[in-house]
Amino acid sequence: MSGLPHSAHALVTGGGRGIGRAIASALAQAGATVTVLGRNRASLDDAIADGSAHFAQVADVTDQAAIGAAIAEAAARQPIDILIANAGVAESAPFAKSDAALFQRMMDVNFMGVVHAVQAALPSMRDRPHGRIVAVASTAGLKGYAYVSAYSAAKHAVVGLVRSLALELAGTHVTVNAVCPGFTDTDLLAGSIDNIMKKTGRSHDQAVAELAKHNPQGRLVKPSEVADTVLWLCGDEAGAITGQAIAVAGGEI
């Protein structure tokens, strides 16, 4: 495992829970100063209390002005070397019932949330000796799934952004990558499991199995497995890795 630069400052959006919390914890354990950003102050404070983070900023990634101000405040405390654009939300519906508002919600959080965070962090990151941007996308950014067309479209947009921005920044020290987890054992997925149970009458175990079957290993991905991949991408020896969308999905892709 390659090491992080000395005294790196990492900012993780959606860092209060799930994959974001696991990433924040892995970065903190590797020696980074970690700021978690999100909407829920209580979950951010919990991350600090359990050692997953050192500082917190409250902001909604869909609000460009708010996230710009929050990232500027974090950078004033210590310049940002690593940005993990993780905040996301998933809603499911058949395409015929997916109205424009649903598509807009998915784009606002999952895509524009990444855009806002990167636009706020990148200008000063260019001046740092080591810069890493990692977007947490999804296998839904690499393939389609039924009943999540809006979510999948937004995650595909994230992967396209990563590939394009990596080329723009290839002459700098800043790398830009995406990790694309398959179905991961988080509280976000718990909502999908509840939805399956309500709509199909299946038990909890049957609903989990319905999602796990997409993974050739027959299981849900662990948040720590996603975090370890992000940690590697943020390390010194991953400088030649840029513009990639790395599936963490047990062979699904």
In this structure, is residue 145 part of a structural domain?
Answer: yes
pLDDT single digits (tens) 174-193: 999 999 999 987 776 666 66
Average pLDDT of 69-93?
A: 96
> CA quadruple 193, 198, 204, 206: dihedral positive or negative?
negative
Element of type H or E holding 224:
helix 223-234
Q: How confident is the model at residue 6 (pLDDT cuts 50, 70, 90)?
A: confident
In this structure, is residue 202 part of a structural domain?
Answer: no
Q: Quote the mean pLDDT of the chain.
A: 94
Active-site pick, 22, 27, 82, 151 = 151
Residue 160: which domain range?
A: 9-182+222-241
In this structure, is residue 195 part of a structural domain?
Answer: no
Element of type H or E holding 123:
helix 113-125
**For position 161, which CATH number holds?**
3.40.50.720
Distance (Å, rounded) from C-alpha 45 to C-alpha 51?
A: 10
Q: What is the pLDDT of residue 201?
A: 83
In this structure, is residue 159 part of a structural domain?
Answer: yes
Q: How confident is the model at residue 1 (pLDDT cuts 50, 70, 90)?
A: very low
pLDDT single digits (tens) 104-146: 999 999 999 999 999 999 999 998 999 999 999 999 999 999 9
- Alpha helices by DSSP H, listed for the chain, are 18-29, 41-49, 64-77, 100-107, 113-125, 149-168, 187-200, 204-212, 223-234
**pTM as predicted:** 0.93
> Does the annotation mark 151 as catalytic?
yes
The CA angle 213-105-60, to the nearest 5 degrees, is: 105
Structural domains counted in the chain: 1
Instruction: Residue 152: name the closest of 197, 211, 111, 99 by CA.
Output: 111
